[in-house]
């Protein structure tokens, strides 16, 4: 079965760090673009970061740039989100998602999300 | 940044009726628009991409239309399992990839 499973969420104090993991099964994670999207409970979806399948530059939302780092380990078929200098406003459910997106010939295509994990809750509070 | 605006925020519909949800982009996104469904306690599910192409396994009662800045998601005959929150997302001009604020479809 094709699925994504996030882990690593929890309670952390402001200024602290946390690393989220997203293990893929049923497909090779490194062959696809992967993203993190977050959602404050009861609110809408906010894109956080994306990494392409071709190993190109990762991209980040301005709200997390310089604090969060997206990466993946092909040997573990796992995506990560290293979150440093956490703020109260980073409190949310974090979803990883798979995308068929790619960039070629100066254009980027198909950057929607066709498979989502169940999410992991990150709470930043003192 | 392209801002996506969805309307209405809440739509009250009776089972079996038609639901029409709108999504507007602050500038043209061509046909690079997706729709997602999210039920309480669940993760989002892709419904439509390319503005009008149904994702795998999505029933034919869901249809998408539009291009440029105006898009519509239509549910032709609402079933009980369709009551949820729906989000649009543009992927034409990024970063950032941006979502609309969502439309909640509730039982009338």
In tens, the pLDDT along B77-94 reads 999 999 999 999 999 999
Which residues in chain B are closer than 8 Å to A57, comparing Cβ atoms? none
Using a CB-CB cut-off of 8 Å, the residues of chain A touching B45 are 116
Do the chains contact at A114 and B43, CB–CB below 8 Å?
Answer: no
> How far, CA to CA in Å, does A16 sit from each of A11, A85, A96, A124?
10, 5, 21, 8
The answer to whether the CB atoms of A95 and B44 lie below 8 A apart is yes
The model's pLDDT over B17-66, given as tens digits with 9 standing for 90+, comes to: 999 999 999 999 999 999 999 999 999 999 999 999 999 999 999 999 99
- CA distances from residue B34 to A50, A55, A123, B28, B90 in whole angstroms, order as listed: 17, 24, 29, 14, 6
CB B51 within 8 A of CB B69: no
Kindly give, in sequence order, each residue whose CB lies less than 8 Å from that of residue A59, ignoring residues fewer than 6 positions away. Answer: A49, A50, B94, B95, B96
Using 50, 70 and 90 to split pLDDT, how confident is the model at A53? confident
Q: Dihedral (C-alpha) A40, A46, A51, A52: value to the nearest 10 degrees?
A: 140
A65 in contact with B, Cβ within 8 Å: no
Q: What would the pLDDT profile of A87-114 be if each residue is shown by its tens digit? A: 999 999 999 999 998 888 888 889 999 9
Triad A117, B72, B69: Cα angle to 5°: 95
Q: Which among A27, A23, A37 has a CA at the least distance from the CA of A2?
A: A27
**What pLDDT does A104 receive?**
83
Nearest CB partner across the interface for B99, out of A45, A50, A62: A45
Q: Phi and psi for A96 in degrees, rounded to 5?
A: -100, 155
Window 15-34 of A: residues touching B by CB (8 A cutoff) are: none
> What does the block give as tokens for A83?
């979150």
Binning pLDDT at 50, 70 and 90, where does residue A57 land?
Answer: confident
pLDDT for A109 equals 87
A86 to each of A17, A41, A67, B45, B48, how far by Cα in Å? 6, 17, 8, 28, 34
Count of all residues that appear for chain B in the document: 108
One-character DSSP codes across A20-57: EEEEEESS-GGGSEEEEEEE-TTS-EEEEEEE-TT---
């Amino acid at each position: 079965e094709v699925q994504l499973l996030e882990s690593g969420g929890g309670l952390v104090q402001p200024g602290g760090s946390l690393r989220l993991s997203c293990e893929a099964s049923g497909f090779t994670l490194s062959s696809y673009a992967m993203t993190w999207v977050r959602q404050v409970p009861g609110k809408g979806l906010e894109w956080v970061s994306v990494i392409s399948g071709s190993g190109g530059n990762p991209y980040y939302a301005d709200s997390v740039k310089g604090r969060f780092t997206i990466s993946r380990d092909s040997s573990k078929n796992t995506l990560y989100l290293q979150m440093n200098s956490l703020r109260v406003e980073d409190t949310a459910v974090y979803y990883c998602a798979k995308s068929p997106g790619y960039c070629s010939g100066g254009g980027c295509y198909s950057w929607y999300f066709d498979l989502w994990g169940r999410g992991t809750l990150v709470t930043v509070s003192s | 940044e392209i801002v996506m605006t969805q309307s209405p925020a809440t739509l009250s519909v009776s089972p079996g009726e038609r639901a029409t949800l709108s999504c507007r982009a602050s500038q043209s996104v061509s046909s690079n628009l997706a729709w997602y469904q999210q039920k309480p306690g669940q993760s989002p599910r892709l419904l439509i991409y390319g503005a009008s192409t149904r994702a795998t396994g999505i029933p034919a009662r869901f249809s998408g239309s539009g291009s440029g800045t105006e898009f519509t998601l239509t549910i032709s005959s609402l079933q009980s399992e369709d009551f949820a929150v729906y989000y649009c997302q543009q992927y034409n001009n990024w970063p950032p990839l941006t979502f609309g604020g969502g439309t909640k479809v509730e039982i009338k």
